Chains A and B, each alone.
Chain A
Amino acid sequence: MRIAYFPGCTLNTTAKGFDNALRASFAALGAELVELPEWNCCGATFPLLVDNMLDLAAPTRVLLAAQEQGDRLAVACTMCYNVIRRTNNRLRADADALEKLNYFIEAEYRGGVEVLDVLQILRDDVGFEAVQAAVKQPLTGLKVAAYYGCMVLRPPAEVAYDDPENPHALDDLLRALGAEPVEWPHKAECCGAYLAVKSKEATAEMSYRILSSAQRTGAQAVVTNCPLCQFNLDRQQLDMGRRHGGYQPVPVLYFSQLLGVALGLDMADFGWERHYVDVRPLLESLG
């Protein structure tokens, strides 16, 4: 299987490890992510003003690029997924908007592309059973907290491919890898997202609530699919100990990293050095 792929700016830079691990794992599973030959930033956040057409131009260009490659687009970054998918929904439902946007981008997007999250593709196209069958190094004994954040769940009618209040796709994947996902209440709570650039206190508190909840269940790692969540949750821990005495940091990983590890792939370029909380002890414990 080959599928057009949009990595997005962040997976191209700070979250390169997410991207590398993802592509390698997909390849190992017989699914090739074919990066769009040309792509642009999607805008990172879906414009919430009804008449803000301008900010829909960037994601529409991405959809246009995808249209040239086929009728499905795989997106790895959850924020990009959310923006492109919602834009697509709007263009499909609103002929006027589609016409306007086509005029803006001076091209003709026809609305035919299906926007999919990579986890969704793993579940529905590759299949978690196939993933399980391909596991070389099961993550046996690893207690993980699957963390979904907001972008693949809300608004449910527009973007969710999972139960929006009790998502489990990621838990199921991790189970297929041999790990033991914990039950916890914060898997869909917001990490604070862009509040981080302005309101440090608030984001620190939001991250703390999520991380401490995961730790109360005994999770040894938090595993996510969102690059902004990963960054916020990971980096906030730098001085969490100062705010909350006795706080013990917990690694925050991308699911693709653990997938690559379990598939027994070369994990040299999985971006481990980018993590704020040291992941080496965890990796060593996995052997």
Chain B
Amino acid sequence: MRVKLSAMRVRNELVRRIEELSGQDLLACYQCGKCSAGCPAAFAMDLLPSQVIRLVQLGLVEEVLNAKTPWFCAACQTCYARCPKGVDLSRIMEAIREIALQERGDYLVIEEIPAEELAEFPQLAFISGFRKYTA
């Protein structure tokens, strides 16, 4: 499908929210792909990290909210540490998760976690997991 680009779309409300929440300048990204090249979780993602930024640059936020990628970001900061433009992609991922969580509800439900894992996993796994996956 041909996507209609317009000033309205590229500056839409959600794009602005992502910029606000993350504090990042999306257009600073010049799509070099270094983030995707080094992302340790990219193999599990449906969109590369750099493509997430690209789609938001084009105003196509829905596609990003529908994607799995933000949920596979481990906030490891490899992307940010190496980004030549200083884009903190981990913050952009967090902003996208935040919007998705608010609009669509929690991604992680405690009841779904097997009892044995509840018993064995260290606290920080759960605490950080819930921080990232619930509103």
Interface residues of A (CB under 8 A from B): 8-10, 13-15, 41, 43-45, 47-51, 55, 77, 79-80, 150, 153-156, 164, 189-190, 192-199, 201-202, 205-206, 209, 227-228, 231, 235
Contact = CB atoms under 8 A, between A and B. Distances in A.
A15 B43 CA distance: 30
Interface in B90-114: 90-91, 93-95, 98, 107-108, 113
Contacts, number: 138
Contact of B94 (A9, A49, A150, A227): A49
Nearest to B123: A9
A49 B77 contact: no
Given A50-B21, A198-B107, A44 B77 contact: no
A154 B122 contact: no
Given A150-B76, A198-B108, A228-B122, A49 B98 contact: yes
5 contacts: A51-B20, A150-B78, A192-B40, A197-B125, A228-B128
A208 to B, nearest CB: 11
A228 B117 contact: no
Question: Most chain-B CB neighbours within 10 Å: which of A193, A196, A206, A235?
Answer: A193
B2 interface: no
Nearest to B24: A50
A25 to B, nearest CB: 21
Given A50-B20, A50-B22, 19 more contacts: A13-B123, A43-B127, A44-B124, A47-B94, A48-B75, A48-B90, A50-B21, A50-B91, A79-B128, A80-B124, A153-B81, A190-B41, A192-B74, A193-B75, A193-B125, A194-B133, A196-B125, A199-B72, A202-B72
B10 to A, nearest CB: 22
B84 interface: no
Contacts of A196: 121, 125, 129
B20 to A, nearest CB: 8
Given A154-B80, A228-B124, A44 B21 contact: no
A154 B108 contact: no
Contacts of A231: 121-122, 125
Contacts of A190: 40-41, 74, 76, 78
Interface string B48-77: 000000000000000000000001101111
A231 B131 CA distance: 19
Contacts of A193: 74-76, 125, 128
Nearest to A49: B21
Given A49-B21, A49-B22, A154-B78, A198 B40 contact: no
